[in-house]
Every structure is written in structure tokens, then in C-alpha cells.
Structure 1
Amino acid sequence: MDFPFLLSTMKSLLAATPTTLGLFSLSIFFGGLLALLIVTMRVSNNIVARNFAKGYIFVFRGSPLLIQMFLVFYGLGQFGVIRHSIVWPALREPFVCAVLSLALCTGGYSAEIFRSGLRAVPPGEIEAARAAGMSGFLLLRRIIAPIAFRHALPAYSTEIVLMVKSTALASLVTVWEITGVAQRLISQTYRTMEVFMCAAALYLILNFLILQVLALIEHRLNRHNLRPAERKPSVMSAFFGARP
């Protein structure tokens, strides 16, 4: 095995890691905000907002992310109103189009995950909080949101990991993230196995670190439900997604 080549390949891929992390973090951030808006519409009493949210979730969960990315990257420029708008300089950038398509897609999945968390909130907890004088935003912040997030976190962790891997599709719209740089190296060296092994190892490391952080958050949120012997999460349980 050519270790000098593997080392140089890993250095090249590491140089593209900030782009991958930028795609991931921005898409998760804006997708999370969008998901909160969609889930608010989804559980509202307004039939128009509720049906719009249902339609949005159906479209972005039912169609492939790759097609969505192509439609954003190649399709938005077909509309004159967009080409002559103030947002066109940003939408011409492949990175922005990739973030937009990733955020739109994860927003649909995350909205359903958050809705399942809301449905898991015990009605008795809400009634007890109202009896104690809580209402409105205070009730949401102190009771509903923490319980809903705690129930939604395991499924949302899976969505976050999937988004790390989904950033690889951005290479198809000329964003030079890890997979894009790997493909460029393959076209130059014709050493497919070694390059993709380095790329896979880098994605595994990123997902391992992210799962560690998510496992610690989940452990902290569920600390009151754990027995004393289970208070400290293990590395392996964090990696494989198991509860401590």
C-alpha cells in the first residue's frame, strides 16, 4: 500500500473538509428553522397552512434529493423574475444552491421528526403546567419544547448523520467538498480505491465526532431517567447510536 500517496490524498481531502462542514452546518441551521415553521403550520388550526405544510412535506420527502438539487441549481435560472432579482447573484453560486436544496430537503424530514416529538408530550404535563399558571411562550419554553426535543433527538440524530453524507451530492453541482475533491483526484491519478477509502474514512470520522456530541446531549437531557450505573455514556454507545 502506497502510504505517501494516502497521506497526500488525506491532506487534499482535509483541505476540502471546511466546505463540507459549511454545507452541513448551514443546511442543518436553515433546515431546522424551516422545519420549526413547517411544523407550526402542520399543527395549526388554519386549514390552508396545515395543507401547505402537508404538501411541502410530501414533496420534499417523496422526491430524490439529487433531483431537488438539480432543479435548484439548473432550474431557478430559467425564470426571468429570479434572474433579475436581488437574490440572483447569490443563487448563481453553486455553494448557495447546494445549501438551499439541502436545507429545503432536511426541513421536510425534520418537520415530521419534530411533530412526532410534539405528539409525545404527555397531556398531563401540559395540564399541570397550566394549573401552575404557565401559558403561551413560557409553557412552550419550560414544558413542551424540552420534552418534545428529548423525544425527537434520537430520530433527529439520524437525520443529522444523513445530512453529513448528503453533502456528497453537492459535488454534482460543482461544489468542491470532500467527494468533489476525491473525484478530481481520481481523474488525475486513476487510483479509485485509495482515494475513496480516504474519503470514506474522513466521513466516518466526522460522523463519529458528531454522534459523540449528540450522544452527550441526549445523555444530559435524559440524565434524570438513568440509573446511577448508566450515568456515564460510553464511546461505543455514542458511535452506534445506542442510549447509554
Structure 2
Amino acid sequence: MLDISTWFNDALAGNTIFTADTLGYYAQGFVTTTQLVFLSLIAGLIIAVPLAIMRSSKHKWISLPIYLFTYVFRGTPLLIQLYIIYYGVVFIDGIQESFLWPILRGAFYPALIAFTLNTAAYTTEIFRGAIKATSQGEIEAARAYGMSRGLMMRRIILPSAFRRALPAYGNEVIFMLHASAIASVVTLMDLTGAARFVYARFYAPFDAFLFVAAIYLCLTFAILYFFRFLEKRLLAHLQPQTP
């Protein structure tokens, strides 16, 4: 059972696991986690926007392959996807002789690929729903001005859809931050990997994992604040006006 008073006394006496070395591991894990989450979200967003447009198409031969992609990646656990990409890349014919092998033989880029494809699938459906929810009046007004389909998508539908999708996409960003904790299972020294290393070294599970939980909590609050700020700025016209 955790004795808070004993832990506090040990910390005051200098008997703590939080030394310069262990804090260095946490700092390394923080950098790895933020890089992995940020890059996967940016790449996933870039992939998801055109896929969402194709997914909302009325032509089945365009929308059906995108539906299958999102169905597979949303219907299977991210951990399984990570295992398949990390361990399966070795068995691709010729990959070890190609120029890609120095990159893919590590853990970071296979994890980045898995996270990118996963978040792209979820983000595609988020934006697809937002595109479908575009007011018919906005579309008819754009047509009345003689806008082409591409111009209407770029200037009317996508900006409107992005504002509507913002709350749901904020939840997706938080989900990806929390899901990044599984990256440590493929030997990445992320935040969770750093906590596991400190625990294995000092046999102090409460100290190691409570500290990393506090870091995740701070990152989550920062993301929440950022998206609330964006919602206030981009959805200000929907807020009730005070007299």
C-alpha cells in the first residue's frame, strides 16, 4: 500500500527516483511522444482531407474503397496494426536490400506509419460527416454564383466542414495522444517506455507511472485549451450575443 508520508519524507531526504538521469529519460520520452503524435496527426490530416472528399462522393467506385480503408482501420485495434506493420515489414520481398531499410528497421517509422493510417481513417469519417452536414442553402448559393465543384469545395464546403468537425477532431487528437502509450511495446522510448524503464530500474511503480500520468494529464489539458480557443475564434458567430 502506498504510504504518502513515507514517500514525502524520502523525497525530502533525497531518496527519490527523480534524479538527473531518470528525468533525462522522461525528457527523451516526452520528445519522442510529441514527435510521434504531432507527425502522425499532420500526415493523417493531409491524407484524410482528400479521402473525406472521395468518401462523400455519390459514385460507389470512388467511395467504396475509402469506406473499406476506414472500416478496416477503425474496426481493428491500433496495437494489432502496429504489430503487423512493425513485424511484418521484414517479410516484404526486397525491403532489406532497398534504400528504405535503414529507416524501417527501427521502431519509430513503423509506429509513425501505423498511427498515421489509424488517425487518417478516423479523421476521414469525421470530415466526411461534416461535409455531409453542409447546409444545402450554402451549396445552392455557391451554385447561383457560378462556382465550380472544386471552387465550391475549397471556398464553401471545406471551411464550413472544418469548423463543424473541430470538436470531434479535438477528441481524436486526445485519443492519439493516449494511444501513443502503446508505442513502447515496440521498444520506443516514449513517455510510457520511460516510465517502464524507471520502474524496472528502481521498482517504484507509483512514482514512475504517476509522474508520467501527470505529464499526459498536462498535455491533455493543453490540447483541450487549444481546441476550445479555436472553437471560440472560428465559431464566434454561433455564440449567443450579449446585449
- Say whether the fold is shared (TM-score over 0.5): yes
Higher relative contact order (CA 8 A, sep 6+): 2
Task: Tell me which amino acid in the other structure corresponds to 1:176.
Answer: M
Paired position in structure 1 for 2:26: 13
Does residue 133 (structure 1) correspond to residue 151 (structure 2)? The answer is no
User: Is this contact kept in 1: 2:56–2:132, CA < 8 A?
Assistant: no
Percent of paired sites with the same residue: 38
Amino acid at match of 1:128: A
Distance 1:182 1:58 in 2: 33
Q: Tell me, yes or no, if structure 1 residue 159 matches structure 2 residue 172.
A: yes
Q: RMSD in angstroms over aligned alpha carbons?
A: 1.9
Contact 1:182 1:196 in 2 (8 A): yes
- Residue by residue over 1:112-140, the C-alpha shift from the partner in whole angstroms, topping out at 9 and shown as x without a partner, is 10111101110110111221233344322
Aligned match of 1:208? 221
Which residue is 2:84 aligned to? 71
2: CA distance, partners of 1:142 / 1:34:
19
Letter in structure 2 aligned against 1:138: L
Partner SS for 2:37: helix
Higher CA-based Rg:
2
Distance 1:179 1:55, change over 3 A: same
Residue 159 of structure 2 is aligned to residue 146 of structure 1: yes
Where 1:80 maps in the other structure, the secondary structure is coil
TM-score scaled to structure 1, two decimals? 0.88
TM-score, normalization by structure 2 = 0.88
For residues 154 and 53 of structure 2, the distance between their equivalents in structure 1, rounded to whole angstroms, comes to: 15
Where in structure 2 are there 5+ consecutive unaligned residues?
Answer: 1-6
- Tell me, in whole angstroms, the C-alpha distance in 2 between the residues paired with 1:39 and 1:185: 42
Q: How many residues align?
A: 230
Secondary structure in 1 aligned to 2:94?
A: helix
Contact 2:17 2:202 in 1 (8 A): no
The aligned amino acid for 1:117 is A
Contact between 2:40 and 2:116, CA under 8 Å: does it hold in 1?
Answer: yes
Report the residue type matching 1:110 in the other structure: T
State the shift of 1:87 in Å: 2.2
Residue 68 of structure 1 aligns to which amino acid in structure 2? Q
Moved over 6 A (4+): none
Q: Mind listing any 5+ residue stretches in structure 1 that lack a counterpart?
A: 230-244
Moved more, 39-48 or 57-66: 39-48
* Residue 49 of structure 1, aligned match among 55, 59, 62: 62
Mean Cα deviation higher: 45-54 or 115-124: 45-54
Match of 1:175 among 177, 183, 188: 188
Superposed CA offset, 1:146-181 (max 9, x none): 110111111111110000011111101111010001
Offset of residue 38 of structure 1: 2.2
Deviation at 1:36, TM superposition (A): 1.8
CA distance in 2, matches of 1:228, 1:14: 45
